[in-house]
Structure 1
Amino acid sequence: MSTQDQATAAPAAHGDLRARFEQEFGSAPDGVWQAPGRVNLIGEHTDYNEGFVLPFAIDRTARVAVAVRRDSTVRLLSTYGDQGVVTTTLEALRPGTAKGWTKYPLGVMWALRERGVGVPGLDLLLDSNVPLGAGLSSSHAIECAVITALNDLTGAGLAAEDMVLATQRAENDFVGAPTGIMDQSASLRGSKGHAVFLDCRDQTAHLVPFETEPAGLALLVIDTKVSHSHADGGYASRRASCELGAEVMGVKALRDIEVADLDEASGLLDEVTFRRVRHVVTENDRVLQTVELLGGPGPGAIGPLLDASHASMRDDFEISCPELDLAVDTAKAHGAIGARMTGGGFGGAAIALTPVDAERKVRDAVAKAFAQAGFAAPDIFTVSPAAGATRIA
């Protein structure tokens, strides 16, 4: 990680967060927990189609200092923004009532209560250095930090799989975003130096070695500054197209369609639905190929699969945007061995797998291209596969 990256990535120290908590709430927290954001290496919009994904937890985290209260009051404060302390009660937790970042911790509390967990009132202070709206799952990092804290504080004994499903319910039913299970799985089950190969049908997962540095590579994240949200019509309409495609094809989910079945699908589906289906089917295949290559020749061999993934998302799933396309095309033209947009689309970030000796050239070229196009200056930084959610103090 460059000095510039380190300067922008560092969150407040554990002691600083505890001191700020005590200053704001009048007593020390019971502990501090953190959960990472994630980069999806490959496998986009395959998760809710019961397919395969290959994300990894990153070295950018959301952290929460939490203290249990003796009443049902919930007080929430973030170190960023000027919203101030938000106060509510456990009894008032209902879908659609929370605003801003508080939707995520309150959604987790609601989902756990729906599961029968005895969630207490609490005071919570949030600190995060996961970029917002960049497609790096800043919201799920918050949720996973909170559910890890509550699992510890309540003694609920939830396994990672249970916490994944609870945070998914918080997203789907409380926040109103029809997301799958990939982001939570990466944040809760990540491991340093590895990606998480996840089968979204049954939640089976295993760790796949993914270390760029020994291969002489860096993974650049190019945050386009085009904010996106899963709780909007674009994401929901893509999911509806996938469900329609599965229904017409007579399968439980698009996971059950092979690349060889696409000729048949083209004759049964309208043109738009077919392209949506083709993306998911071929993307599942690219995930499997990437896992195989990482277990053999290593990360230096996966560039063409990253490129093909971006082309599919741009042309078949139609979730890219001019800023993402410019980031990908410029990175590849100046030395990246593969690049693609990452995340739900309609903005957010791209990733570029780049030889270390070309990193500066790629950074400078992308920044220059954005300036010439009249786009906002992108935030460009490196990430490394990191550990999953845990208690840190």
Structure 2
Amino acid sequence: MTDVPSRAAAGFSSAFGAQPAGLWAAPGRVNLIGEHTDYNDGFVLPFALPHRVVVAAAARPDTRWRVWSEQTGETVEFGAAEADDPGRVEGWAGYVAGVVWTLRSKGYEVPGADLAVASDVPAGAGLSSSAALESAVLTALADLGDLSVPVDERPGLAQRAENDYVGMPCGIMDQSASIRAVAGHALFLDCRTLAIEQIPFDVATSGLAVLVVDTRAPHRHAGGEYASRRRACEEAAALLGVPALRDVDDLDKALATLSDDVMRRRVRHVVTENQRVLDTVALLRSGRVREIGPLLTASHASMRDDFEITVPEVDLAVSTALSAGAYGARMTGGGFGGCVLALVDATETERVAAAVATAYAGRGFIEPVWFAARPGAGAERVR
């Protein structure tokens, strides 16, 4: 199969009968640690994948947008009236319309454009294919219109497109990783101040690899469980009298204050997960990569038992990877399906992945797919 930029360019030519003015790419992401902490004003540590959404684009003389998708083969067209009405454009094209809307709502003169989208970011796997789409489109439109959109403001704009146009209440982590990541590093993000630090994460020099296993379990949380977890966290913060759960500095006291056991478990996950992010960052700053393994595993246990967002496929992948010799393993992403990551010796990647596949066959699950992830670059023009 041809590379993704070439597929996007070919799709543009086929759909619109012309050559694109350029190609822009934005990556999916893996969250090394820090799950459901972002919307609690906490800390996260994602890194960008080499897998990318690529947008081939050219400006139009009118205020209309036509978008072709390689995945569906369809072209969706909308104008300013549809773009300015959150939720009017539905499905995958809603993410594109949402970017147009959020830029226009901030006063930017967004150019009309034709866009063709191709991707090798697995959809529905918890690797933020939607954030990659938003980030690639935003980067393309900003360049096409010569819009002076500060880079540090772009993640928030992309997040607003997803929150307020599409209706998915995600935090800012995914868009931050897709736009601001640096190759060879994990992005340490304070989700309250939006301060970032690029943390060296070159696993190869330590003889290690990050094995990512796509469990291929259904990954759906836009309208239900994800939103309910966020709501529980916000309600708990209000009961505890703090702006967000990030501000809980005495966990025992907080747990004793809350009467609802489910809410207590939600709080315990967020508070302890924030600390695990800080501990992981400290280890990576010291070059002690292998030692982050137990923190990854503890994160998974917390997601499974306290936040209750795992499913049998991801739990089996984690336990099997650990039994096969992984230093640590955890689900990554919003939960209820998706991917697992495991920190393994580079020489053992295939063996650990094969062990997970064998375990799946024994349970009758869909065969998983896997790859070894290296931290990639954020959104950029590629041609």
Q: Over aligned residues, Cα RMSD in angstroms?
A: 1.3
In the TM superposition, 1:53-202 aligns within 5 A as 53-82=44-73, 84-93=74-83, 94-202=85-193
Q: Deviations for 1:27-76, whole angstroms, at most 9, x for unmatched residues?
A: 21111000000000000000000000000011000000011111122111
1:263 maps to 2:252: yes
Quote the residue 1:33 is aligned against. Answer: 24
The one-letter amino acid of 2:3's match is P
How far does residue 248 in structure 1 lie from its aligned partner after superposition? 1.0
Structure 2 residue runs of 5 or longer lacking an equivalent are none
Quote the residue 2:311 is aligned against. Answer: 321
How far does residue 165 in structure 1 lie from its aligned partner after superposition? 1.1
CA distance in 2, matches of 1:278, 1:15: 47
Quote the residue 1:343 is aligned against. Answer: 333
CA distance in 2, matches of 1:23, 1:347: 35
Aligned mate of 1:352, from 342, 352, 361: 342
Q: Deviations for 1:103-125, whole angstroms, at most 9, x for unmatched residues?
A: 11111111111111111221100
CA distance in 1, matches of 2:354, 2:8: 35
How far does residue 23 in structure 1 lie from its aligned partner after superposition? 2.6
The one-letter amino acid of 1:159's match is P
In the TM superposition, 1:41-52 aligns within 5 A as 41-52=32-43
1:299 maps to 2:289: yes
Instruction: Report the TM-score, using the length of structure 1 for normalisation.
Output: 0.95
The one-letter amino acid of 1:346's match is F
1:375 maps to 2:365: yes
Look up the SS of the partner of 1:100 in the other structure.
coil
The one-letter amino acid of 1:234's match is E
The one-letter amino acid of 1:311's match is A
Deviating 4+ runs (over 6 angstroms): none
CA distance in 2, matches of 1:298, 1:11: 35
In the TM superposition, 1:243-254 aligns within 5 A as 243-254=234-245
**Residue pair 1:222, 1:380 contacting (<8 A) in 2 also:** yes
The one-letter amino acid of 1:315's match is D
Identity across aligned pairs (percent)? 54
The one-letter amino acid of 1:167's match is A
How far does residue 11 in structure 1 lie from its aligned partner after superposition? 3.4
Cα 1:326–1:16 change in 2 (3 A) is closer
Mean CA deviation greater in 267-276 or 17-26: 17-26
CA distance in 2, matches of 1:295, 1:92: 47
The one-letter amino acid of 2:59's match is V
CA distance in 1, matches of 2:350, 2:11: 37
Structure 1 residue runs of 5 or longer lacking an equivalent are 1-6
CA distance in 2, matches of 1:15, 1:331: 36
CA distance in 1, matches of 2:68, 2:8: 12
CA distance in 2, matches of 1:86, 1:182: 28
How far does residue 97 in structure 1 lie from its aligned partner after superposition? 2.1
**Residue pair 2:349, 2:372 contacting (<8 A) in 1 also:** no
How far does residue 16 in structure 1 lie from its aligned partner after superposition? 4.6
How far does residue 15 in structure 1 lie from its aligned partner after superposition? 4.2
Q: Deviations for 1:260-283, whole angstroms, at most 9, x for unmatched residues?
A: x12111221111101000000000
How far does residue 129 in structure 1 lie from its aligned partner after superposition? 0.3
Look up the SS of the partner of 2:92 in the other structure.
helix
CA distance in 1, matches of 2:349, 2:168: 35
